[in-house]
């Protein structure tokens, strides 16, 4: 059958709206009519070709839609179900067995290689292979083939345009605070970067009842939004950020979450933390050879920890329903981050995100 896709034919785009052929789902696969899909920073990093992406390709990994067809053996959903798509995992490695799918031993091939395990694709154009299977979905298209492992069933009344970003960006930011760093009531939190992931971390800090939440963000509009969502203080990220944090928190912060990947500020995080402070690194730096210089004596004497975080340590089938419950209760107003665009306007959406006019762009398919 045919689908409309935002196809990437060269590094850094532009995306081209084209008709492609989509294969029938194989065993364990699910064909989803995509209704909404968020644009995530990871899409843009991979679109640059820096991660080895082969072209042409279809990206997109925050899809939400309606099940159209299921492959052999699929039991968790049926045609007509509303679903949210998230990252993929193998389900049988040591990490998946420990309910840690974000650290699946096969994460790269399941999410980043943009082919099936046998090297095939679900998409083609004029008989030529179009690379898909990005995060097990490639949802910048009107139809996507996902896998039972990365499909979350939603209630019939679910607003797909609002919930789509939970599949990656929101669960990453919120999970970093609630799961990875284990925020406790009364603790203090610094969030570096106030894009969609950072704003989600701010909201999670408020959910956890953190006493002080500092958002570090150069764009004034995003600082205002962070204040609206729960930040008690904001900084513009200029100058000695660590000293500015300690002017607010003389003893240092209990937690620091970096969502920016901006190394000049990331390098200051150890100087921000309190005794036993925890640092979580989420943001991808702009260079594959970016390195963090760690002042060992302060880190040792503080008893501090630094750790990388993937997908907020989420077990999606548990954590995404929790996030939806927070949203229904008004504690996670993700709609305040989002602006919707027709899928055909993907390049305008990317422009608006780059210019800071949009925090989270969500593409809509008819």
pLDDT tens, residue by residue, 268-292: 999 999 999 999 999 988 777 899 9
Is it the case that residue 51 has pLDDT exceeding 90?
no
Sorted by where each starts, the structural domains of the chain and their CATH numbers stand as 2-167+333-364 (3.90.180.10), 173-310 (3.40.50.720)
Give the model's pLDDT for residue 284: 87
Burial bucket for residue 72 (CB in 10 Å: 0-12, 13-18, 19+): exposed
Distance, in Å, from the CA atom of 310 to the CA atom of 42, rounded to the nearest integer, reads: 12
Burial bucket for residue 105 (CB in 10 Å: 0-12, 13-18, 19+): middle
User: How confident is residue 172, by pLDDT bands cut at 50, 70 and 90?
Assistant: very high
What pLDDT digit, counting tens, does each position of 193-210 carry? 999 999 999 999 999 999
Residues 230-244, mean pLDDT to the nearest whole number: 97
Is it the case that residue 225 has pLDDT exceeding 80?
yes
Those residues whose C-beta lies under 8 Å from the C-beta of residue 234, and which sit 6 or more positions away, are 214, 215, 216, 217, 223, 226, 227
Distance, in Å, from the CA atom of 175 to the CA atom of 166, rounded to the nearest integer, reads: 11
User: How confident is residue 175, by pLDDT bands cut at 50, 70 and 90?
Assistant: very high
Give the model's pLDDT for residue 115: 95
Start-end of H helices in the chain: 41-47, 94-97, 107-111, 160-163, 169-175, 196-207, 220-229, 241-248, 263-266, 296-302, 316-328, 346-354
Residues 253-257, mean pLDDT to the nearest whole number: 98
Distance, in Å, from the CA atom of 69 to the CA atom of 240, rounded to the nearest integer, reads: 55
Residues 168-183, mean pLDDT to the nearest whole number: 98
In the chain, the percentage of residues whose pLDDT exceeds 70 is 100
Give the model's pLDDT for residue 286: 76
Beta bridge partners of 88: none
Residues 142-164, mean pLDDT to the nearest whole number: 97
For 90-102, b where at least 16 C-beta lie within 10 A, e where not — what string?
Answer: beebebbeeebbb
In the chain, the percentage of residues whose pLDDT exceeds 90 is 94
Give the model's pLDDT for residue 150: 97
The whole-chain average pLDDT of the chain stands at: 96
Give the model's pLDDT for residue 13: 84
User: How confident is residue 86, by pLDDT bands cut at 50, 70 and 90?
Assistant: very high
Long-range Cβ pairs for the range 25-28 (8 Å, 24+): 25/69, 25/70, 25/71, 25/74, 25/145, 26/71, 26/72, 27/71, 27/72, 27/73, 28/71, 28/72, 28/73, 28/74, 28/147, 28/148
Give the model's pLDDT for residue 50: 77
Give the model's pLDDT for residue 48: 87
Residues 301-312, mean pLDDT to the nearest whole number: 97
Is it the case that residue 295 has pLDDT exceeding 80?
yes
Give the model's pLDDT for residue 49: 86
Give the model's pLDDT for residue 133: 96
Residues 245-268, mean pLDDT to the nearest whole number: 97
């Amino acid at each position: 059958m045919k689908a409309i896709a935002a196809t990437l034919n060269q590094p850094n785009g532009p995306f081209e709206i084209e008709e492609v052929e989509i294969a029938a789902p194989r065993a364990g696969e699910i064909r989803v009519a995509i209704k909404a899909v968020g644009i995530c920073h990871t899409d843009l990093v991979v679109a640059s070709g820096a991660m080895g992406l082969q072209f042409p390709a279809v990206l997109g990994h925050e899809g939400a839609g309606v099940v159209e067809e299921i492959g052999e053996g699929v039991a968790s959903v049926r045609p007509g179900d509303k679903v949210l798509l998230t990252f993929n995992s193998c389900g049988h490695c040591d990490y998946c067995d420990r309910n840690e799918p974000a650290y699946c031993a096969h994460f790269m091939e399941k999410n980043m290689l943009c082919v099936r395990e046998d090297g095939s694709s679900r998409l083609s154009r004029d008989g030529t292979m179009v690379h898909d299977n990005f995060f097990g979905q490639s949802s910048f298209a009107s139809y996507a083939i996902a896998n039972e492992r990365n499909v979350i069933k939603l209630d019939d009344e679910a607003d797909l345009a609002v919930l789509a970003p939970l599949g990656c960006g929101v669960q990453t930011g919120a999970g970093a605070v609630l799961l990875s760093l284990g925020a406790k009531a009364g603790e203090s939190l610094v969030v570096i970067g106030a894009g969609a992931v950072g704003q989600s971390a701010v909201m999670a800090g408020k959910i956890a009842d953190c006493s002080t939440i500092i958002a570090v963000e150069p764009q004034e509009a995003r600082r205002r939004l962070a204040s609206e969502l729960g930040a008690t203080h904001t900084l513009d990220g200029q100058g000695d950020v660590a000293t500015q944090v300690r002017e607010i928190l003389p003893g240092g912060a209990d937690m620091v979450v970096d969502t920016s990947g901006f190394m000049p500020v990331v390098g200051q995080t150890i100087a921000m933390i309190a005794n036993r402070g925890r640092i979580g690194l989420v943001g991808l730096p702009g260079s594959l050879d970016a390195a963090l210089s760690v002042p060992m004596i302060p880190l040792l004497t503080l008893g501090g920890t630094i750790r990388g975080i993937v997908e907020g340590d989420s077990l999606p089938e548990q954590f995404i329903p929790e996030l939806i419950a927070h949203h229904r209760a008004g504690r996670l107003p993700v709609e305040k981050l989002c602006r919707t665009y027709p899928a055909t306007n993907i390049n305008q959406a990317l422009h608006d995100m780059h210019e800071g006019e949009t925090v989270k762009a969500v593409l809509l398919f008819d």
